Chain A
């Protein structure tokens, strides 16, 4: 029996259950790619840049700028490859508040700021070095990233998707990640939500089935759940995300765990793709098949 310690407060629920929404298929083509490039102030023509494509993306490069558009999700990344994540020996000293202000202004300028959003987190890309004296030298921050979550009908969008991230270096914008699908109409009204304790109960049963030793539940979130860059998704559904720490038998080995379950009593299909099954392996010989 798994020992489960719930440290998290349960999220408050909205007065009216949020509906299940449709996600229209993304409009992804070379034409939309070039149109998007122009909206990012690039010239966006085949003469000015080059188009490349593979099974999951369309890409456009012009000068030092790359724009990659994902076929499955319609998500895109716009970046300056000469600056994004690159150490130019500078130190970005933006406070969180200043970075958020700049990031919001940039998203507004490009008409990418959702009608409603909130800041999920501000992250920093750090560098450091140490030599024989084992003392840190040259610790600097080379970018600050502001991660926004769209908020739909009062509920934040979360998951591998549901993000707009603006990366800022010492000179300004280096990259925008837009991983937020266009939301359509109501697919299904929801008469009631499960209580968040129901999600913890389902997670506990799953952990028991896995025979886990001990689990701490750190956070329970109510959200609209969105998948990542390369996943197709037809519906945006309310979900609970349970963030936990798995603790091993001697308590020194711990790992994070994420359990996702529909929040509604009338959900549609699967929220999360099935984990691919592993390929069975023959038992290794004593010498290791050398």
Chain B
């Protein structure tokens, strides 16, 4: 079984309307993930960095604004996005260096998994603000529309090394349980960050089963509804 992979990352912003603080390591995280997955027999569909990463790649067309997710983020099985994030009003925002068509992508314009997307890494801050039901379900219950799992961080995090993405990609590509691999590869005891993996399911048992056991071999085991979320985090 082969999984298709797409990655987007942003290190460099400009002093314009989309201005944010410059980042390091985002290219190495995203491309490292992609390279590790490809080395294990999976396929790379796209790699968009800096100004080539666009908000429309995540916006579902039903929300207008040139939404093109069905041709990009939702046209692959595994998407890795490395950048800034911010979470307010129960909406996650991701920052782009070029307005195409917005500077900020917003999770309330996403229908993740409407087509092919099964797993999304949001290697950003503020994937959730805490681990309460309201923080997790109010942000992710809506946008998860068939996607199996999301991997991200609670509050802020700091990249310690260039290899976090490639390490996670190696584990994922070797069919490790995805949630455990994410938590293992991204938790840093020195910095005390909080990685989190969120799984969806039509029932509680399904969501928990995915959280505990899902590997990339589960690609074709569809999530028929996101009635339940099950999450796992280290802190």
Interface, chain A (partner B; CB < 8 A): 85-87, 120-121, 123-132, 134-138, 145, 147, 158-160, 163, 165, 210-213, 228, 230, 241, 243, 245-249, 252-258, 273, 275-276, 278-279, 281, 283-284, 288, 290
Chain A residues with Cβ below 8 Å from B93 are 252-253
Least Cβ–Cβ distance between B195 and chain A, in angstroms: 10
Given contacts A126-B232, A160-B160, contact A278 B49 (CB under 8 A): yes
Interface status of B157 (Cβ within 8 A of chain A) = yes
Least Cβ–Cβ distance between B215 and chain A, in angstroms: 14
Contact of B204 among A129, A134, A248, A279 (CB under 8 A): A129
Chain B residues 178 to 235 lying within 8 A of chain A, measured CB to CB, are 180, 183-184, 187-193, 204, 207-208, 211-212, 227-235
Contact of A278 among B11, B133, B141 (CB under 8 A): B11
Q: Which residue of B lies closest to A131 (CB)?
A: B228
Q: Which residue of A lies closest to B56 (CB)?
A: A288
Chain B residues 1 to 22 lying within 8 A of chain A, measured CB to CB, are 11, 15, 19-22
On whether the beta carbons of B52 and A86 are closer than 8 Å, the reply is no
Interface status of B33 (Cβ within 8 A of chain A) = no
Least Cβ–Cβ distance between A46 and chain B, in angstroms: 23
Least Cβ–Cβ distance between B37 and chain A, in angstroms: 16
How far, in angstroms, from A163 to B57 measured CA to CA in the complex? 40
On whether the beta carbons of B21 and A137 are closer than 8 Å, the reply is no
On whether the beta carbons of A121 and B125 are closer than 8 Å, the reply is no
Interface status of B161 (Cβ within 8 A of chain A) = yes
On whether the beta carbons of A253 and B86 are closer than 8 Å, the reply is yes
Given contacts A87-B212, A210-B22, A248-B20, contact A123 B230 (CB under 8 A): no
Contact of B52 among A147, A158, A243, A281 (CB under 8 A): A281
Least Cβ–Cβ distance between B202 and chain A, in angstroms: 10
On whether the beta carbons of B52 and A134 are closer than 8 Å, the reply is no
Interface status of B144 (Cβ within 8 A of chain A) = no
On whether the beta carbons of B138 and A159 are closer than 8 Å, the reply is no
Interface, chain B (partner A; CB < 8 A): 11, 15, 19-25, 27-28, 31, 47-52, 54, 56-57, 68, 71-72, 84-86, 88, 93, 95, 124-126, 131-134, 136-138, 141, 156-163, 177, 180, 183-184, 187-193, 204, 207-208, 211-212, 227-235
On whether the beta carbons of A125 and B71 are closer than 8 Å, the reply is no
On whether the beta carbons of B228 and A288 are closer than 8 Å, the reply is no
How far, in angstroms, from A62 to B180 measured CA to CA in the complex? 21
Given contacts A273-B162, A275-B25, A278-B49, contact A147 B189 (CB under 8 A): yes
Chain B residues with Cβ below 8 Å from A128 are 131, 133, 136, 230-232
Chain A residues with Cβ below 8 Å from B180 are 85-86
Chain A residues with Cβ below 8 Å from B11 are 278
On whether the beta carbons of B235 and A126 are closer than 8 Å, the reply is yes
On whether the beta carbons of B193 and A256 are closer than 8 Å, the reply is yes
How far, in angstroms, from A243 to B159 measured CA to CA in the complex? 11
* Given A134-B138, A276-B27, 8 further pairs, Cβ under 8 A: A126-B234, A130-B136, A245-B156, A248-B19, A252-B88, A275-B162, A278-B28, A284-B51
Chain A residues with Cβ below 8 Å from B133 are 128, 130, 134-136
On whether the beta carbons of B190 and A248 are closer than 8 Å, the reply is no
How far, in angstroms, from A101 to B46 measured CA to CA in the complex? 50
On whether the beta carbons of B231 and A127 are closer than 8 Å, the reply is yes
Chain B residues with Cβ below 8 Å from A131 are 204, 227-228
Q: List 13 A-B contacts (CB under 8 A).
A: A123-B189, A126-B233, A128-B131, A129-B211, A134-B134, A134-B141, A165-B189, A211-B22, A241-B190, A255-B157, A258-B191, A281-B50, A290-B71
**Which 6 residue pairs across A and B have the least CB separation, nearest first?**
A256-B158, A147-B189, A253-B86, A278-B27, A129-B230, A284-B52
On whether the beta carbons of B228 and A129 are closer than 8 Å, the reply is yes
On whether the beta carbons of B21 and A213 are closer than 8 Å, the reply is yes
Q: Which residue of A lies closest to B54 (CB)?
A: A288
Chain B residues with Cβ below 8 Å from A159 are 160, 190
Q: Which residue of B lies closest to A251 (CB)?
A: B86
Chain A residues with Cβ below 8 Å from B193 are 256
How far, in angstroms, from A12 to B43 measured CA to CA in the complex? 52
Least Cβ–Cβ distance between B213 and chain A, in angstroms: 9
Contact of B158 among A127, A135, A258 (CB under 8 A): A258
Contact of A123 among B72, B163, B235 (CB under 8 A): B235
On whether the beta carbons of B84 and A253 are closer than 8 Å, the reply is yes
How far, in angstroms, from A283 to B52 measured CA to CA in the complex? 7
Given contacts A129-B228, A135-B133, A136-B132, contact A276 B28 (CB under 8 A): yes
Chain A residues with Cβ below 8 Å from B54 are 284, 288
Q: Which residue of B lies closest to A284 (CB)?
A: B52
Least Cβ–Cβ distance between A205 and chain B, in angstroms: 14
Chain A residues with Cβ below 8 Å from B50 are 281
On whether the beta carbons of B189 and A249 are closer than 8 Å, the reply is no
Chain A residues with Cβ below 8 Å from B49 are 278, 281
Chain B residues with Cβ below 8 Å from A254 are 86, 125-126, 156
